[in-house]
């Protein structure tokens, strides 16, 4: 394992707003309009909003140039006979560039397992979009000293069928389950250590290729405007995946402004 914490090769930061199951069309459009008005251009930060499927189009209509569109999930296929499904063709049609895969709420509440995550990663890559793959242990796993093993397993399974050439197109998010929505974020050291474990798992799978394209690793779990700078600029971390604190547009603008250059 490298002693020097790595960052993604560009030094680019990412801030993602994960609305989860919040906001209808009117609120989505209002959020996008407010952020477009107040967010000062940050060429060094990629800002992405992830509305629910039903509000993607409304948000897209009002988004300014400084914010990209993402989805919280996808069916692992383009289109077809999948009742209730939303496929990658439909996401691309709306202008989606980023797709969350394997968020712990989907793993736990909807029963998505590692093989489902692996299929989604492949589908998003095949569609030319960027998968943002979420990994992270729960409180019990951390308490039993199994956090590293969980992260390693989730990473290994997610990229099982991914060719090395696609590695540079994946963004990762370390989101310990115990930190999500709890007001109890991981410390920057814990997050950086998990990011290092994650990169080490990629090295085990891809060898030198993983070092040629250091993976961007974001931290998520109770990030807010007051603590974001600790994660989005810390050694080994490339940004933040923000849930609750992204819902208010003014607070979110403040949060992005606090990401160190
Ligand atoms: P939180 O959620 O910021 O509300 O903790 C983060 C996430 O689940 O992506």
Structure tokens at 49: 């909003």
Q: Cα separation of 244 and 224, whole Å?
A: 8
pLDDT digits (tens, 9 = 90+) for 17-37: 999 999 999 999 999 999 999
Residue nearest atom 3 in ligand 1 by C-alpha distance: 243
pLDDT at 218 over 80: yes
Q: Kindly report the number of other CB atoms within 10 A of residue 168's CB atom.
A: 15
Q: What is the pLDDT of residue 9?
A: 52
Predicted confidence at residue 211, as pLDDT, reads 87
Chain centroid to CA 256: 15
Asked if 155 contacts 200 with a C-beta cutoff of 8 angstroms, the reply is no
Which ligand 1 atom is at minimum distance from the Cα of 134? Answer: 9
pLDDT confidence of residue 86: 98
Question: Residue 2 pLDDT > 60, yes or no?
Answer: no
Q: Looking at the predicted structure, is the pLDDT value of residue 1 above 80?
A: no
Which two three-digit tokens encode residue 32? 């996008």
d(CA 102, CA 105): 8
112 catalytic per annotation? no
Ligand 1 atom, smallest distance to 241 CA:
9
117, containing H or E segment: helix 114-126
pLDDT digit string, tens, across residues 138-195: 999 999 999 999 999 999 999 999 999 999 999 999 999 999 999 999 999 999 999 9
Across 83-98, average pLDDT: 98
Is it the case that residue 8 has pLDDT exceeding 70?
Answer: no
Instruction: Pick the closest to residue 158 from 190, 124, 128 (CA basis).
Output: 124
Query: pLDDT tens across 91-150, in order?
Result: 999 999 999 999 999 999 999 999 999 999 999 999 999 999 999 999 999 999 999 999
| Alpha-carbon span 85 to 152, nearest angstrom | 29
If you measure from the C-alpha of residue 182 to the centroid of ligand 1, how many angstroms do you get, rounded to a whole number? 9
* pLDDT > 90 fraction of the chain, expressed in percent and rounded: 89
Contact predicate 216/167, CB 8 Å: no
pLDDT of residue 4: 41
**3 state SS of 29:** helix
d(CA 113, CA 179): 21
Q: What is the pLDDT of residue 3?
A: 38
pLDDT at 257 over 70: yes
Q: Which atom of ligand 1 is nearest to the CA of 179?
A: 5
| Cα 185 to ligand 1 centroid, rounded to whole Å | 10
The pLDDT mean for the chain works out to 94
Distance 129 CA to ligand 1 centre (A): 22
- Residue that the structure tokens 């540079």 belong to: 168
pLDDT of amino acid 150: 98
**What is the CA angle 252-11-67, rounded to 5?**
35
* Whole-number Å distance between alpha carbons of 205 and 156: 7
Nearest to 134 by CA among 125, 126, 150, 144: 150
């Amino acid at each position: 394992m490298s002693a020097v914490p790595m960052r993604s090769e560009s030094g680019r930061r990412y801030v993602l707003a994960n609305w989860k199951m919040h906001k209808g069309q009117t609120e989505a459009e209002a959020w996008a309009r407010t952020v477009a008005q107040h967010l000062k251009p940050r060429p060094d930060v990629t800002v992405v909003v992830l509305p629910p499927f039903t509000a993607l189009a409304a948000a897209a209509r009002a988004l300014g140039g400084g914010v990209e569109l993402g989805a919280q999930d996808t069916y692992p296929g383009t289109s077809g006979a999948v009742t209730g499904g939303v496929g990658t063709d439909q996401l691309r049609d709306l202008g989606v560039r980023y797709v969350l895969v394997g968020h712990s709420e989907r793993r736990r509440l909807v029963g998505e397992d590692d093989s489902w995550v692996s299929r989604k990663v492949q589908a998003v890559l095949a569609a030319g979009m960027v998968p943002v793959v979420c990994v992270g242990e729960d409180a019990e796993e951390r308490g039993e000293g199994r956090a590293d093993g969980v992260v390693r397993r989730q990473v290994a399974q997610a990229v099982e069928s991914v060719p090395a050439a696609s590695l540079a197109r994946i963004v990762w998010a370390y989101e310990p389950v115990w930190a999500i929505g709890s007001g109890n974020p991981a410390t920057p050291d814990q997050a950086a250590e998990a990011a290092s474990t994650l990169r080490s798992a990629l090295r085990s799978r891809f060898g030198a290729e993983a070092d040629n394209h250091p993976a961007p690793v974001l931290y998520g779990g109770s990030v807010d405007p007051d603590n974001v700078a600790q994660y989005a600029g810390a050694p080994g971390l490339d940004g933040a995946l923000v849930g609750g604190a992204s819902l208010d547009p003014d607070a979110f603008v403040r949060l992005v402004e606090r990401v160190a250059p």
